[in-house]
Amino acid sequence: MATVILEKGNIITDENINENLEGVVGYLYNAKNIEMVNDKQFNNIHKDIIIKNKDMIFLRIPILDNGEKRVINGVIDRDKFIINYETEMLLEFLEEKISLHKKINKYNLCLFIFQYFSYVYNEELLSIEEIVDDLFQGAVYNGEIDNKEILEIKKSVSLIKRFTTYYKSMITYLDDEFSNIDSYNKALLVLDNTLSLVENIESSIFSCIDVYNSELSNKMNKTMQLLTIITVLSLPLTIVSGIFGMNFQSMPLLKDSYGFALTIILTLGLIVFEIMYFKRNKYF
């Protein structure tokens, strides 16, 4: 299945395309096996944009497709823009964009493609933003957070940021071809909006992590405070047992019939004094 786009805005989708059609500015075809990219592979503007001459430019456009990194190939030749990517959502998007123009050319179509991926990423970012908000509430009210989920979100957002920034670089690299097109500034603005949304989500993620760490630190401090209080309260008993455990021949209260009772009363008195002191100073 292939799709032909005419300069007057007509979109024709058919298995058998008439090669003699006039006014064709673009071909879209659905490649069954779009190239997958290794996570460690980096994009290079000089390798992904090859300018043979003014009428022949080859493009390799990285995209994020269902969480996987892929690369689609495009060609800007003398009259047309050809790309091996075609989905119903893309066709609907192009139909809407093209309807706002009386005439389009190959450069308009290429810029629309970049805007489309920015639109797709915006939709994904908005859903991610809702998930981050839920995680933030969990961190504030429950002091809990799913570190694995945060890591996956951070990875997806980072990829979207990297690809969107790369799209801007590709467009500005082809400034001589695109600068006179009315969609040029609009495409850059759309990409900037996506990057702004990415920055907001990244800020929310870091805030979520900070709140969780703060809650975790507060819990740890309360635990340490409780253990310290228990240790201090038991300190008089430790001192008394240490003194009477020395086994000297002459020890006070050893031969006194009230020695044990007096020792217990003195120890409990010290503990009560410590408790009153802690409460007065609001240690607990």
Map out the domains of the chain with their CATH numbers: 2-216 (no CATH), 234-280 (1.20.58)
pLDDT tens for each residue of the chain, 284 residues long: 688 888 888 888 876 666 677 888 898 987 665 666 665 566 777 788 888 887 899 999 999 887 788 889 999 998 899 999 888 899 999 999 998 888 899 999 999 999 999 999 999 999 999 988 888 888 777 777 777 888 888 889 999 999 999 999 999 999 888 888 888 899 999 999 999 999 999 998 888 888 888 878 888 888 888 888 788 778 777 877 777 777 666 666 666 667 777 777 877 888 788 778 777 877 66
Q: Which residues of 81-107 are buried (b: 16+ CB within 10 A; e: fewer)?
A: bbbbbbeeebbebbeebbeeeeebbbb
**Rounded-to-integer distance, Cα 156 and Cα 161, Å:** 9
Where would I find the beta strands (DSSP E) of 30-173? 35-36, 49-53, 56-65, 68-76, 81-83
pTM, 2 dp? 0.76
**Rounded-to-integer distance, Cα 270 and Cα 260, Å:** 15
Q: In the Cβ-directed half-sphere of 29, how many Cα atoms lie within 13 Å?
A: 14
Q: Backbone phi, then psi, for 128, in 5-degree steps?
A: -65, -40
